[in-house]
Structure 1
Amino acid sequence: MIKKVIISLLIIGLAIGGYMGYDMYKNVYQPNVTISKNQNNYFYIHTGYTFENVVNDLYEYGYILNRNSFEWVAEKKANFKNNIKPGKYRLKDGMSNNDLIDLLRSGTQEPVKVTFNNVRTTKELAGKITRNLECDSVDFYNLISDKEFTKKYGFNTITILTLFLPNTYEFYWNTSAEQLIKRMADEYKNYWTAERKAKAKKLNLSQSEVAILASIVQAEQSVHADERPKVAGLYINRLRLGMLLQSDPTVVYGIGDFSINRVLTKHLQTNHPYNTYMYKGLPPGPINLPSIKSLDAVLNYETHNYIYMCAKADFSGYHAFAANYNQHINNARQYQRELNRRKIYN
């Protein structure tokens, strides 16, 4: 009789143990992550998040089915609850609690692409460069507007724009504003090789001045990059002769009205530091973020004797170049007649 009782107890104990073991197995290894068709499979852990914040977001946004099982497994996983790593994580439908916690604990993020181009101002840059990152555009803008901060990189609050080379870069989502700028400084240093520095020196221009001139070249020829070295050669000729640069895009930039299609006398008479019809030499800062092609166009400018240009009357996007004023006037009149014919008055 006693033997039967002992055997029964053993069987019950094994059954209970088996059930508990199976329950533990389910908590750890069975699927608990669900991604619906209309749901983003990227999960974001913000800087400063606690374990509770992570669990709340996972559950409230519908990424996990069973909150209790996730918390139970997290309790068993060493160094997770007190070592939350911010970032952007790619979740897969059907992941177990074990897989999910291993992913979040590892800090293995999905990089994000950061692209910025067609930028004119620091505010535009701040908005575009931080668009896909955690860092706030205001924090970024405040940094590049801070005199002491920009001075650390060898710029002022106007020339700091020349630090940023338009391109597509990969970052981790939780990159801070300061880390972002440091990375851009590294890219800047990589671009400015000894060879390029030597070419700038031969032009008697600083690296920032090369970028300022490149921004003008890019604004004058935004359509056909193949013409930029020729445009660059024209402005270098003017600088060497001590002539006014007389660039319409710099005038428009100083006014701040980028809807202007036709620069008129009233615009040319507007007094501001970017009016290259009034002030000799380069303006105080870039009028856009010049691309690497535009920078290289200045450093590898085309040698010629042109000092005048205007848009071609065929509206091809190319320019008519001239070495003397009379030739330039003829070209300009053709273009102005075409503007009038097309009824473009401002």
Structure 2
Amino acid sequence: MIKKLILVFIFVLALGMALVFYAKEQVKGYLLQPMQLSSEQLVTVEHGKTLRSALWSMEKQGWIEGNRFSRLLPHLYPEVVHIRAGTYQVKPGETLQQVLTTMVSGEEHQFSLTFIEGSQFKEWRTQFAQAPQLKQQTATMTEAEIAKAIGAGHDKLEGLLLAETYHYTAGMSDLDILKRAHKALTRELDKAWQTKQTHLPLKTPYQALILASIIEKETAIESERTRIASVFVNRLNKGMRLQTDPTVIYGLGDSYDGDIRKKDLSTPTPYNTYVINGLPPTPIAMPGVESIQAALNPEQSRYLYFVASGDGGHVFSRSLAEHNRAVQNYLRKLRASKKH
């Protein structure tokens, strides 16, 4: 009798162990199944959402196959239970375990917004409006209200934001990014101001930004920036007007149709440097770090003029006569290119 009981006990124990082993293998297989996706997808875990509801949601979308043993997951794999709220990127071929591990770590998907050097604030607003999963906190605010909210110290934000790539997670706001962009610009401007040349015709860091924005719009060639800066600095030191087309274009605003006409050069606006003396009242674009550094450390030269070379760069001149010859040469190249 005792032997029978022992045999029954051993059988039951063996059966139990076999069932436990089978259940573990089933759960393991459930966790190791690859996500059935054809492309990357975003999944959002809302606050208060449980592991069970997250799994059910993925099963419903056909990303994973259900398994009746999945209810044992919290008991057998407690390390994947406490998922955090957030938006996560799920990639094809990732296992369910990898996805849950990411959710437990709270490593949310990073969206990115890239602003190019020389862009204007109105373009930033357009990009914000089109950015996925970004809270539109400034959509109904005026530029002056936004400037006050980020502590810019000026009503216009042109030039006061550093153009680069900014990363954000779902639920962050455009105001968050603007604060970071202004802080980054201030940091770079302060750094450059500390190493500026002496005897520059720039009394404040803001004036340096204005000049840097003009340099940014005049050339995309890095090697030319300090030379173009020298032209503007030389003209300012001599009391000559800057006479730079990008400022005219900025002053025309929405009326600019792609061409600058002779009358535009003589039409007074606060930004028309063919009419006004000195710098315009604000920057005309978002300058990059290189243009800021060029404005504060220009090349030592006697150049007072420059014009497009027709080959992508510029020709620099010390006198008006030299400049006029360079202009005529450029016009000849332009006419020749139109014939072909």
> Relative to structure 1, is the Cα distance of residues 199 and 338 closer, same or farther in structure 2, using a 3 angstrom cutoff?
same
1:106 counterpart letter in structure 2: S
Shift of 1:196: 2.7
Question: 1:281 maps to what in 2?
Answer: 278
- Tell me by how many angstroms 1:219 deviates: 1.6
Give the aligned residue type for 1:306: Y
Name which of structure 1's ranges 318-327 and 286-295 shifts more when overlaid on structure 2.
318-327
Q: Deviations over 1:93-117 (max 9, x none)?
A: 36354x5433211113465555321
SS at match of 1:331: helix
Equivalent residue in structure 2 for 1:265, among 262, 273, 279:
262
Contact 1:120 1:289 in 2 (8 A): yes
Of residues 157, 180, 202, the one that matches 1:183 is 180
Report deviation, 1:133. 6.1
Residues in 2 aligned to 1:194 and 1:221: alpha-carbon distance in whole angstroms:
23
C-alpha spacing 1:123/1:242, structure 2 compared with 1 (3 Å): same
**3-state SS in 2 of match to 1:228:** helix
Go from structure 1 to structure 2 and tell me whether the alpha carbon gap of 1:172 and 1:152 turns closer, same or farther (over 3 Å shift): closer
Match of 1:50 in 2: 49
Deviation (angstroms), 1:239? 2.4
Q: Aligned residue for 2:133?
A: 134
Do the aligned partners of 1:144 and 1:157 also contact (CA within 8 Å) in 2? no
> Partner residue of 2:23?
23
Aligned to 2:160: 163
How big is the shift at 1:333?
3.2
Q: CA deviation at 1:34?
A: 2.1
The code of the aligned residue for 1:228 comes to: R
Of the three residues 206, 225, 235, the one matched with 2:222 is 225
1:93–1:330 distance in 2 versus 1, CA, 3 Å: closer
1:293-312 mapped onto 2 (5 Å cutoff):
293-312=290-309
2:196 match: secondary structure: helix
Asked whether the 8 Å contact 2:84–2:105 carries over to 1, the reply is no
Structure 2 gaps, min length 5 = none
Q: From 145, 148, 156, give the equivalent of 1:147.
A: 145
Aligned to 1:319: 314
Amino acid at match of 2:213: S
What secondary structure is seen at the aligned counterpart in 2 of 1:139?
coil
1:119 Cα shift?
Answer: 4.8
CA distance in 1, matches of 2:209, 2:63: 47
Q: Which residue of 1 aligns with 2:193?
A: 196
Check the 8 A contact 2:37/2:91 in 1, yes or no.
Answer: no
Give me the whole-angstrom Cα distance separating, in 1, the residues matched to 2:110 and 2:23: 36
Deviations 1:24-80 (A, max 9, x none): 45225644542457322x644367583487446533444322276656535884895
Distance 1:149 1:263, change over 3 A: closer
Is the CA contact (8 Å cut-off) linking 1:46 and 1:174 kept in structure 2? no
SS at match of 1:199: coil
Superposition CA RMSD, Å: 4.0
Distance 1:24-1:142 versus aligned 2 partners, 3 A rule: farther
Change (3 A) 1:55 1:161: farther
Supply the distance in 1 between the matched residues of 2:146 and 2:126 (Cα, whole angstroms): 22
Contact 1:115 1:129 in 2 (8 A): no
The question of 1:104 aligning with 2:103 is answered: yes
Aligned length: 335
User: 1:306-340, CA deviations, whole angstroms, 9 ceiling, x for partnerless residues?
Assistant: 3222223xx12232333343443333333334434
Classify the secondary structure of the residue corresponding to 1:196: helix
| TM-score, normalised via structure 1 length | 0.75
Q: Which runs of 5+ in 1 are unaligned?
A: none
Structure 1 distance, partners of 2:65, 2:28, is 13
Distance 2:28 2:255 in 1: 61
Partners of 2:280 and 2:329 lie apart in 1 by: 29
Match of 1:330 in 2: 325
Matches within 5 A, 1:68-107: 73=73, 77=78, 84-89=84-89, 93=93, 95-97=95-97, 99-107=98-106
